[in-house]
Structure 1
Amino acid sequence: MSWWQFPCRKTQLWLDVTLSCGQSFRWRQDAGSGEWRSCLPGSLCVWRLKQTVDAVLYKLESPSEKESILLEESARQTLFDYFNFDVDLESLYTEWQRADRNFAEQSARLKGVRMLRQDPTETLFSFICSSNNNIERISGMVEKLCVTYGEYILEFDGRQYYTFPVPHVLAAEGVEDKLRKLGFGYRAKYIHQTAKVLASKPDGWLDELRKAPYREAHAELLTLPGVGAKVADCICLMSLDKMDAIPVDTHMWQIAARDYKLKVTNKSLTTKVYNEIGDHFRKLFGQYAGWAHSVLFSADFKKFQSIQVERNKIESNVHVEDSPVHQEEVEANLVTSKSAAAKRKRII
């Protein structure tokens, strides 16, 4: 099966940053090819992505070649939805740079940090794992969840791939004890208890929160075991379409105090302090404040601080001409995103 592609500048999406900045924990970058690989809900296949200066290339690996070809018909739609391609990120960067000098300085070297639109169930359990944790360990825990309780898909390039487990499987007896033995610690209890709550809810309850106002959705999430304000905001921002949700942890608290001179008298991140920081960034950056927050959060990572980006000169190991799909074929096959909000500007 050939690589397919769609036009996309790195200033609209930079895969290497977006897929490794702590939004999603299932993507792995192959050291040899540089391509990114993962599984997405709704398809029993492995997604392979790589990027050029002005395009994203993708390929599907599935148990049968015939199924891969059939999946191609809906693959673009899936990627458009997953990467929120109905949002013009370049325009947002311009707005934020005009509104805030610090953002202008930080974003100058870190273009293309785009928010993902992930599956709410996967996002919920992934961020329960994030409590007092780092990206590497969270990724390891999420992988263990999939290997232990997910459905086997296939083996590709020496690695086995699984679906993310469904709540009723995680709600079964013995799950908590098993997860503790696997190194989840106290998070095992929260995963098991939350799974039982979800299993008792009407089908689609979590997904329906996409339609609820931000404050309502946030409050509903706080009723789940192991979900505090920050985790609830991560779920809201990264899977429930709440673009102004601001996840605040001690790292973001430090950024607020250091770069924005927010005078916080409390010595701990209380509810009052949490809301003050979120409200400050919402007032500063507007409707997509959560996206701007993610850029600032990522820019403060040590692994990204040495990155220097020039708009039209970004090194790449892959070239568009290497793809068997010609540009006119790509344009002819682009699928209009039915889920796009009418008020947002399409960028692809």
Structure 2
Amino acid sequence: MTRDDQTVPPALKVNSCGRDVEITGIRDFDLDHIFDCGQCFRWTRNEDGSYTGTAFGRIVRMIWNPAKQLLRICGATPEDFENVWRGYLDLNRDYGEIKKYLAEKDTVIREAIDFGSGIRILNQEKWETILSFLISQNNNIPRIRKCVDSLAETLGAKIGTYDGKAYYALPTPEILAEASLEDLAPCRLGYRAKYLIDTAKLVREEGLDVLEALGQPEITADDARQSLCRYSGVGPKVANCISLFSMGKIDSFPIDVWVRKVMHQLYGIEEKNVKAMAEFAAERFCPYGGIAQQYLFYYITHHEEDGQL
């Protein structure tokens, strides 16, 4: 397999159902795995197992039926699916082939893949992703979600209402660049507030197109990370997250406290030796380091929660 390998998955069938759209034939997919692996923060799990959230200025509810391999997106049309949700959910990539390729490497990654078999890497908005992962530093997922939502509600424009709940977009670079630390105080961002404001000022100065351009296929993951580290508060881990979750750089391998744990406990690498972990991932999982990272992250976080490791 080459770096650019994207073998086409089996064809999907897309049907309009009133105000919803149904997609059948999806494989290697599970909403719980996708929305609970630390890559996004704007989706909420409902009591029936569906998820409601927002992306690209749209609000939808997603319902997954694994027995029928059927995804229902409530509040979307077939055109919305083709223009937004197919790419957002990375449905043009054959994860079955990628899992097979990675599983041949060793039994550790094979077990992690089996545990989080429905994970897919979302292709999120770049500006939203840089804000989200600046907020994520030294933070836990429930609190990140609260901070991101609070930032949207405090300074963002209202997108609309769904099932009685109002949804807001994150503030634009122009709005956030004009904000003061006092303006952001209700969001309880702590020291991260200054990072957000300073980053917004640079994005406003350069233009959002400069950030968007980093997602072009000809830009390597290394070049994207180097450019992202120019933004206030963005270090290697955050840069890797942004490049993986919004720029299609699937060889990016973010290393946080959880990944250090899993690489130490399951691969025997010294927990503080981030360089050795990055080198190991580049050699063992290339060209799918980012996808492997998500399987490992999901595995370690859920097993530690259950007291199994």
* TM-score tier (shorter): 0.7 to 0.9
**Residue 151 of structure 2 is aligned to residue 145 of structure 1:** yes
Query: Which residue, 180, 185, 209 being the options, matches 2:190?
Result: 185
Say if 2:183 is the partner of 1:170. Answer: no
Aligned AA (2:59): V
Q: Does 1:93 align with 2:116?
A: no
Query: How far has the Cα of 1:304 moved from its partner?
Result: 8.8
- Structure 1 partner of 2:126: 120
Measured after TM superposition, the shift of residue 142 of structure 1 is 0.5
Residue in structure 1 matched with residue 296 of structure 2 by the alignment: 296
Cα distance in 2 for partners of 1:130, 1:187 equals 9
- Change beyond 3 A, Cα 1:135–1:8: farther
Q: Please state how far the C-alpha of 1:186 moved relative to its aligned partner.
A: 0.5
Query: Aligned residue for 1:341?
Result: none
| 2:85 counterpart letter in structure 1 | L
Residue 257 of structure 2 aligns with which residue? 250
Across the two proteins, how many residue pairs are aligned to each other?
A: 285
1:225 aligned residue (229, 232, 236):
232
RMSD (Å), alpha carbons: 1.8
1:73 aligns with 2:79: yes
Question: Does the 8 A contact of 2:263 with 2:277 survive in 1?
Answer: yes
Q: Which residue does 2:41 correspond to in 1?
A: 25
**Structure of greater relative contact order (alpha carbons < 8 Å, 6+ residues apart):** 1
SS at match of 1:180: helix
Change (3 A) 1:303 1:162: farther
Instruction: Mark the CA change 1:258 to 1:304 in structure 2 (over 3 Å): closer, same or farther.
Output: closer
- Is the CA contact 1:146–1:163 (under 8 Å) kept in the aligned structure 2? yes
Structure 1 counterpart SS, 2:61? strand
Contact 1:298 1:304 in 2 (8 A): no
In structure 1, what is the Cα distance between the partners aligned to 2:227 and 2:299?
Answer: 31
Q: 1:152–1:88: structure 2 CA closer, same or farther, 3 Å change rule?
A: same
Cα distance in structure 1, aligned partners of 2:123 and 2:160: 25
Cα displacement string for residues 40-94 of structure 1 (whole angstroms, at most 9, x for unaligned residues): 11x4x3111010011111121xxxxxxx6xx542333311110111211111111
Separation of aligned partners in 1, 2:178 and 2:133: 20
- What SS class does the counterpart of residue 301 from structure 1 fall into? helix
Aligned residue in 2 for 1:284: 284
1:303 and 1:135 map into 2 onto residues whose CA distance is: 16
Letter in 2 for 1:47: V
Instruction: Report the alpha carbon displacement of residue 300 of structure 1 after superposing the two structures with TM.
Output: 1.0
CA distance in 1, matches of 2:226, 2:275: 14
Measure how far apart 1:202 and its partner are: 2.9
- Contact map agreement 1:150 1:165 (CA 8 A) in 2: yes
What amino acid maps onto 2:132 in structure 1? Answer: S
Within a 5 Å distance, the mapping from 1:28-67 to structure 2 comes to 28-31=44-47, 33-41=48-56, 43=57, 45-53=58-66, 54-60=69-75
Contact 2:154 2:187 in 1 (8 A): no
Deviation at 1:258, TM superposition (A): 1.5
- The answer (yes or no) to whether the contact 2:269–2:276 under 8 Å persists in 1 is no
Do the aligned partners of residues 129 and 81 (structure 1) sit closer, same or farther apart at CA in structure 2, a change above 3 Å counting?
Answer: same
The CA distance in 2 between the partners of 1:57 and 1:304, in whole Å, is: 32
Letter in 2 for 1:288: Y
Unmatched 5+ residue regions in structure 1? 61-67, 307-348
Conservation of the 8 A alpha-carbon contact between 2:258 and 2:301: no
User: What amino acid does structure 1 have at the position aligned with 2:301?
Assistant: F
**Maintained 8 Å contact 1:177/1:188:** no
- Structure 1: how far apart are the matches of 2:102 and 2:143? 32
Q: Percent identity?
A: 27
Check the 8 A contact 1:47/1:59 in 2, yes or no.
Answer: yes
Q: Which has the higher strand share?
A: 2
Q: How far apart are 1:240 and its partner, in Å? A: 1.0
Code of the residue aligned with 1:199 in structure 2: it is R
Report the 3-state secondary structure (helix = DSSP H, G, I; strand = E; otherwise coil) of the residue aligned with 2:288: helix
Distance 1:73 1:263, change over 3 A: closer
| Residue matched to 1:335 | none
Q: Which runs of at least 4 in structure 1 moved beyond 3 Å after TM superposition?
A: 303-306
